[in-house]
């Protein structure tokens, strides 16, 4: 019996090593749970381009939108756990199991590969809004019923406006969108009064005078936007960032994860990736699989505490 168990262990090890040596042996897919052109899609396509060149196989990006990113995540989990189907994961995936009563996955189902980027957020308003900073927005909200765009309940795009409400005493109505991009388009049109957006999306739109930025959630002003004040310097104790990474299903052989990690980290370190992301106001940041796994757990814990503080109940 012991000999059989030892032989089985040796065989399993050999198969794992063989899988890693043969990886990838077909096209690799990166799933994105949000619309094209959004804060998840942009880094995914940059990473895919780099991986295609370094891995020697086609790497395609597929947008599977809806259900706060869970459609894409669940599709990833339905594929063989061999590293050929990946997910551009984010802080949203870490928070969803705490927000929804019926979630088809557990955090343990996510296999971390590497962090890709971090981004702070901008509070945006229509170009014709009478508000130009936090103080004038609060004054405006006390004379008129305002709304804000959000990408699903419990997302940062809802949590930060709710924090804003709690600190300032104003009340707004949330309007749900399938992605940050569509919400911002409604801000541009003047039909949405406020939307929280990753800086990467908001800055180009402000440069084109399509939106105005009231402030950013960064702890200090950013070098790429020195004229835009932080929320903190305007009296709002809101300091928050989002993160994006590459995840695989749990159970992918460690040698495959290690291979992917090295290639993703090389992509993040490349000059052109850094240039594009930094110009957009994000912070290119890679990690070990262990560091990303720890960040996922930390994000889940912090999200649960924030849901409780803001009175956000679990959704069906």
- The domains of the chain, with CATH numbers, are 2-119+241-309 (3.40.190.150), 120-234 (3.40.190.10)
Using N-to-C axis directions, what is the helix angle for 199-207 and 180-189, rounded to 10°?
A: 30
In the prediction, which pLDDT does 19 show? 55
Q: Which residues of the chain have pLDDT under 70?
A: 1-20
In the prediction, which pLDDT does 12 show? 44
In the prediction, which pLDDT does 39 show? 82
In the prediction, which pLDDT does 94 show? 96
Beta strands in the chain (DSSP E): 28-32, 59-63, 85-90, 110-125, 146-150, 172-176, 195-198, 212-216, 241-249, 282-284
CA of residue 94 relative to chain centroid, distance: 10
Residue 302 gets which letter from DSSP? H
Q: Checking DSSP bridges between strand 172-176 and strand 146-150, what pairing results, if any?
A: parallel
Closest to 213 measured CA to CA, from 226, 91, 179: 226
In the prediction, which pLDDT does 240 show? 87
In the prediction, which pLDDT does 155 show? 83
Alpha carbon separation from 271 to 201, 266, 268 (Å, rounded): 21, 10, 8
Give first-to-last CA distance, the chain, whole Å: 49
Question: From CA 260, how far away is CA 289, in angstroms rounded?
Answer: 10
């Amino acid at each position: 019996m012991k000999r059989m168990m030892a032989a089985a262990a040796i065989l399993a090890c050999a198969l794992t090593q063989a899988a890693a040596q043969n990886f990838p042996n077909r096209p690799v897919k990166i799933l994105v749970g949000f619309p094209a052109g959004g804060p998840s899609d942009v880094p995914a396509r940059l990473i895919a381009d780099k991986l295609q060149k370094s891995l020697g196989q086609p790497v395609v990006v597929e947008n599977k939108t809806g259900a706060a990113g869970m459609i894409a995540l669940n599709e990833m989990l339905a594929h063989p756990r061999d590293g050929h189907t990946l997910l551009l994961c984010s802080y949203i995936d870490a928070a969803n199991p705490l927000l929804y009563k019926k979630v088809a996955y557990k955090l343990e189902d996510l296999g971390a590969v590497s962090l890709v980027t971090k981004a702070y957020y901008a509070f945006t308003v229509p170009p014709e809004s009478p508000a130009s900073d936090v103080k004038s927005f609060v004054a405006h909200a006390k004379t008129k019923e305002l709304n804000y765009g959000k990408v699903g309940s419990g997302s940062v795009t809802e949590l930060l406006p709710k924090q804003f409400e709690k600190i300032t005493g104003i009340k707004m109505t949330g309007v749900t969108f399938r992605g940050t991009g569509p919400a911002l388009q409604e801000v541009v049109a003047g039909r949405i009064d406020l939307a929280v957006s990753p800086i990467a999306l908001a800055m180009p739109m402000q440069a084109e005078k399509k939106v105005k930025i009231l402030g950013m959630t960064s702890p200090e002003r950013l070098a790429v936007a020195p004229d835009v004040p932080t929320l903190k310097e305007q009296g709002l104790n809101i300091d928050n960032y989002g993160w994006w990474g590459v995840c695989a299903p749990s159970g992918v052989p460690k040698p495959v994860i290690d291979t992917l990690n090295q290639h993703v980290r090389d992509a993040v370190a490349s000059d052109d990736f850094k240039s594009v992301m930094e110009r957009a106001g994000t912070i290119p940041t890679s990690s070990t699989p262990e560091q990303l796994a720890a960040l996922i757990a930390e994000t889940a814990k912090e999200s649960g505490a924030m849901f409780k503080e803001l009175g956000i109940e679990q959704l069906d």
